[in-house]
Amino acid sequence: MNEKETQFYEGKAKKLFTVKGHPDEVIQEFKDDATAFNAQKRGSWAHKGEVNCAMSTALFQMLERSGIRTHFVEQLSAVDMLVKRLEIVPLEVIVRNIAAGSFSKRYGVPEGKEFKHPTFEFSYKDDALGDPLINDSHALAMELATEDEIDHIRHTALKINDILKAFFRERGIILVDFKLEFGRHKGEILLGDEISPDTCRFWDAQTRKKLDKDRFRQDLGGVEEAYAEMLKRVTEPVA
């Protein structure tokens, strides 16, 4: 039995608990709450936690089958996931295939521009600073990660992009961009956190309809339905 012991962290979308008798593992509970724009905008909708837990489970399992090492151990309930305890590298790892969001805003590139080569960037995970963009040399100088770790994270994130892009293409979804987090566990770097419509941008390949958290960020409506649709695409067998 994996029992929740003590809540030791509450973030914007998840709570973390220690596990009785298993110091190397953690239970992450997915909440229905959402924030955007560094928590200036807040909301909540039904089944968000369940969708993000189920979708992350399916994607972590798929990535593991493709040779990516993740923190995933087991889905315990609709909203609870048993994972390996990580020492999180405080970098948000962002890969983009199409311009959108902060990339479009920062560089004046219209949303929807397809890149011939995916982009790779880090943000420094610090809410008080608003998660600023950071480069490798800054991350090294600040001792957030070693050179080897940065190389490994970049290589792994781009490999994950190839795997996810193909996976979603088969399901009629364009993977626009996504954010990953990595952490250290017993001397190894593992993929952590979640992979969900909170942390990725997904567009329907035919209609280009947004099926992710941008519906909440931009007040487009139909958020709950979009999340449900994404879970369906991920979990239903491909025709």
CA nearest to 56, candidates 68, 72, 45? 72
> Would you state the structure tokens that stand for residue 125, as one six-digit string?
């995970």
Q: Among 84, 201, 210, 233, which residue sits at the site for ligand TMP (rule: CB under 6 A)? A: 201
Q: Among 30, 85, 199, 211, which residue sits at the site for ligand TMP (rule: CB under 6 A)? A: 199
For ligand TMP, the closer of residues 53 and 94 by Cβ is 94
Q: How far apart are the first and last CA of the chain?
A: 37
Element (H, E) at 177: strand 173-180
Please, what is the minimum distance in Å from the beta carbon of residue 53 to ligand TMP?
16
Please, what is the minimum distance in Å from the beta carbon of residue 103 to ligand TMP?
6
Interface with ligand TMP includes 210 (CB under 6 A)?
no
Q: For 87, which DSSP code? A: E
* Cα–Cα dist 102/198, whole Å: 15
User: Hunting for tokens 């298993």 — which residue is that?
Assistant: 22
Q: Among 25, 29, 177, 229, which residue sits at the site for ligand TMP (rule: CB under 6 A)? A: 177
User: Hunting for tokens 């880090």 — which residue is that?
Assistant: 122
Please, what is the minimum distance in Å from the beta carbon of residue 20 to ligand TMP?
30
Binding mask 77-106 for ligand TMP (x = CB under 6 A): -----------------x-----xxxx---
Contact 189, 71 (CB under 8 A): no
Please, what is the minimum distance in Å from the beta carbon of residue 164 to ligand TMP?
12
For ligand TMP, the closer of residues 66 and 102 by Cβ is 102
Contact 153, 182 (CB under 8 A): yes
For ligand TMP, the closer of residues 58 and 109 by Cβ is 109
User: Hunting for tokens 């600073």 — which residue is that?
Assistant: 129
Choose the stretch contacting ligand TMP; rule: CB under 6 A; options: 39-47, 67-75, 143-151, 171-179.
171-179
Q: Map residue 239 onto helix, strand or coil.
A: coil
Contact 14, 191 (CB under 8 A): no
Please, what is the minimum distance in Å from the beta carbon of residue 113 to ligand TMP?
13
User: Interface residues with ligand TMP (CB under 6 A)?
Assistant: 94, 100-103, 131, 177-179, 199-201
